[in-house]
Amino acid sequence: MLTQVSVDYYGRLERGNLTGVSESVLASLVRALQLNDVEELHLRDLIRACDTTIRPAKPRTAQPKISPAVVRILEAIGDLPAVIQNGRLDIVAANRMGRALYVDQFDTPQLPANHARFTFLDPRGRLFAPNWDQAANDIVAILRAEAGRDLHDRRLTDLIGELSTRSDEFRIRWAAHNVHQHRSGSKRIHHRAVGDLSLDFEVLSLDSDPHLRLVVFSAEPGSASYDGLQLLSNWAATLKISAEVPTGS
């Protein structure tokens, strides 16, 4: 009734028969379901995925190649933790401070380091995120949005299958179908070397590769977390952590 379409037509939409759906019907769905901007974008991604007139993309299996220019920019952000991650939440590159911040994530035989795998399958994940439930909810919602955006990412499919099989916490959250985009905000972290940190973050898309995002962390000058980042920098120096691009097969 709210979308002003028949029950049969709405049933077709829910079954994925979205060929030829008009913009007016789509706008009615968004209003009736009270979708926010991220949820509307997810709906449009699903519609594109169901459009049989679009030639399907080839499955992507290789890790993206980080351009030398992007690596130089990453390394130039010397005093702040910065990483480059993809939609699967793999950390595909990090500067010295980023490596220090996520030192436990990189301590894994399975590269590239992955936020979701660390959060749900590594016991250190609960120690690293003091607000673990919220962090877990956000991670699953980000992966759900990415799944709608790119149905041909074999590595993403494999990751979701692995997490669903090995983690009840992930499987329950995945069934909720929530979607989320990480653009800016704050993150609470418990770092094993410097203690508790409350960091602001900004996420920037890279035009050279739409699948990659640059994430930069900072703290308010004069705050305890600002001092914590200074300690993190000193600690990283003792470990001789260098800026590098971690890769996986």
Predicted TM-score of the model (pTM): 0.79
| Domains of the chain, start order | 7-50 (no CATH), 68-239 (3.30.450.180)
Give per-residue pLDDT as tens, 174-185: 999 888 777 889
Instruction: For residue 247, name the pLDDT band (cuts at 50, 70, 90).
Output: low
3 contacts 32 by C-beta, under 8 angstroms: yes
pLDDT (tens digit, 9 = 90+) per residue, 12-50? Answer: 777 777 777 778 878 878 788 888 777 777 777 677 766
pLDDT surpasses 50 at 249: no
- Are 235 and 194 a contacting pair, CB within 8 Å? yes
Burial of 37 (0-12, 13-18, 19+ CB in 10 A): exposed
Percent of the chain with pLDDT over 70: 88
Give dist(CA 81, CA 215) in Å, integer. Answer: 8
- Strands (DSSP E) contained in 95-174 are 113-114
Strands 82-86 and 195-206: unpaired
Residue 102 phi, psi dihedral angles, 5° rounding: -105, 35
